[in-house]
Amino acid sequence: MHFLSSDGFSSPRGDLDLGRRVAAARAALERRLSARVNPDGAVRDAPQSRVFESALMLRLLRLEEVYPEAQARIVRYLETERRAKQLGLFDAALVRAVLAAPADPPELKELDSCFSGSGHFATRRKRMMFRAVVALMSGARFDGEFREADFIPRDEYQLWVRLEVIALKILYATHLDRREWIKKEDVAVLTEALRKGTSRKQTVLRQLLILFALRSIPEQERAVRLGVERLVALQGRDGGFPFILGMEIFCTATAGLALASAGRDRNRSTLASIADYLAGQQQPDGGWAYAEGVDQTDVDDTSYCLELLSSMGAQRYAEPSARAAAYLLAIQRQDGGFPSFARGADSEIAMTAGAMMALASAALAPAEILHRGADYILERQKSDGTFERSWSLSETSEIYRAMVAMRRLQVEPASALSARIDGAVNRSRRYLERAQNEDGGWGHVPGTASDVISTSYALIALSHIGGRVALERGLLHLVSHQQAHGGFVSVPDQVGPRPIPYDVPVLADIFALLALNHGLAALARSS
């Protein structure tokens, strides 16, 4: 069995004052997060508006010449964002396109470096989408490098990506005068998606792309008007539009894990309502989606839900836990890794680590399955101790999940796998120590400003792999940024479409509480 490395935790030099400060911060945050649990057991928080969708919506409303009041509210939102924030290259280009006089579109090479340089998987598809958005917003010519074959949906695409690819094909076909690409069944699929009113099942961005595509097709005016009407109803109080409408299942599962590790006995009734809620949201295939009303299940949410349900120790959750484990085992690829959505897609580090953590905690997978997952992760660790980022902007996110997954494995102490894990642990610990900022926190990547969520990820990892000095400094940084109400505020790290960030504010509280829990446990072990 692999236990906590003693490296960095071998001497009882714990700071009692630090322990008291962390415990007090944890208690206040625990009370705040527990109060966020609704009577039905769900944790709900509205995703914040985003420049991306808001600028596109303004462009669409202007083209359709409808809803002038909604247009004015979007303008005010975008102007506020431009004044209050240092916008990135892409957001700044969108804001210029809709708020200023027409200007030259941004250099495509610069945009490509923003979106393909992150190493995310669907690079060519992402390039098609982002370049189409630039063309729609700026009046630039659509890129002629893409061919009809680029727009054939792959089997491993989830439904909303299939719709996105079809919408992009229609947009490129229309603007490049290649109408022969457009098939009747393509139009039918998009109009059916709008007819069903799939605002919960589709991201706001993809609904916008569908509407831009359909407005270029004759006799689709009614469908477009209906779609625009439904989107306008989603306008936020700040005048902007979000990427998604909710993330209840993800937030509830992670909040449940945070409250359980803070004090299972204190939060017993709250945890029971959380577990009942999650069990009721499980879908026929055994998995979970990220939000209510979303059909597409995924490995990430299923892993968090399984980990929470299996931790309850109640027979009533044995059946949903077994179904969740079967879902995860069926999606594991030959390379030992786990993809986000479908077995045919590329495996990802965070998904693999999350599935391993859940399956190991639930004791519902043979050791061989978990060791294959470990092999996948270990083979893909970079020499500096990091991993490819996936659905997060933070380097520390993948590190925390990979390291906790390694520590939950049952491994013979003198085995080759044990030695490989020790090497990986040492590399990641050295990275975290090097990447720590002078203020004690961590940013998305080295050299960026510290933020609460990235710092929380790093602290969870250090609590399991050693690095006492970095852990203490990080805990001091985190508690010093607690708000008067007991909660935390952070820049977002979640991305979609990758690598564009979106913000669900409650996640700062959830991951900060997890970090304080793990940090306190590590301090106690070393005292």
- Domain-located, residue 440: no
Quick one: which of 253, 215, 243, 223 has its CA closest to 91? 243
- Domain-located, residue 200: yes
Q: Quick check: 294 and 200 in contact, CB under 8 A?
A: yes
Q: Quick check: 275 and 41 in contact, CB under 8 A?
A: yes
> What Cα–Cα distance (Å) separates residue 115 from each residue in 121, 124, 181, 509?
11, 10, 26, 29
Q: List active site positions.
A: 300
Cis peptide preceding 499, ω within 30 of 0: yes
- Domain-located, residue 8: no
How many domains does the structure of the chain reveal?
Answer: 1
- Domain-located, residue 462: no
Q: Is the pLDDT of residue 9 over 80?
A: no
Quick one: which of 246, 269, 253, 344 has its CA closest to 307? 253
Phi/psi at 279 (5° precision): -60, -35
What integer pLDDT is reported at residue 211 of this predicted model? Answer: 96
What integer pLDDT is reported at residue 193 of this predicted model? Answer: 86
Query: 179: how many CB neighbours lie within 10 A of its CB?
Result: 11
Domain extent, residue 206, equals 50-242
- Domain-located, residue 332: no
Q: Is the pLDDT of residue 1 over 70?
A: no
Query: 161: how many CB neighbours lie within 10 A of its CB?
Result: 19
What integer pLDDT is reported at residue 184 of this predicted model? Answer: 93
What integer pLDDT is reported at residue 414 of this predicted model? Answer: 85
Q: Which two tokens stand for residue 408?
A: 């939950």
**Exposure on the CB side of residue 513, measured as CA atoms within 13 A:** 26
First to last CA, the chain: 22
Q: Which residues of 495-508 are buried (b: 16+ CB within 10 A; e: fewer)?
A: bebbbbbbbbebbb
**Exposure on the CB side of residue 80, measured as CA atoms within 13 A:** 12
What is the spatial distance between Cα 108 and Cα 212, in angstroms, rounded to a whole number?
21
Average confidence score pLDDT of the chain: 91
% of the chain residues with pLDDT over 70: 91
What is the spatial distance between Cα 179 and Cα 165, in angstroms, rounded to a whole number?
16
- Domain-located, residue 99: yes
Quick one: which of 429, 468, 459 has its CA closest to 441? 459
What integer pLDDT is reported at residue 112 of this predicted model? Answer: 62
Per mean pLDDT, which range of 118-127, 209-218, 373-382, 501-510 is the poorest? Answer: 118-127
Whether the model pTM is above 0.85: yes
Q: Output 229 or 344, whichever has higher pLDDT.
A: 229
Q: Is the pLDDT of residue 387 over 60?
A: yes
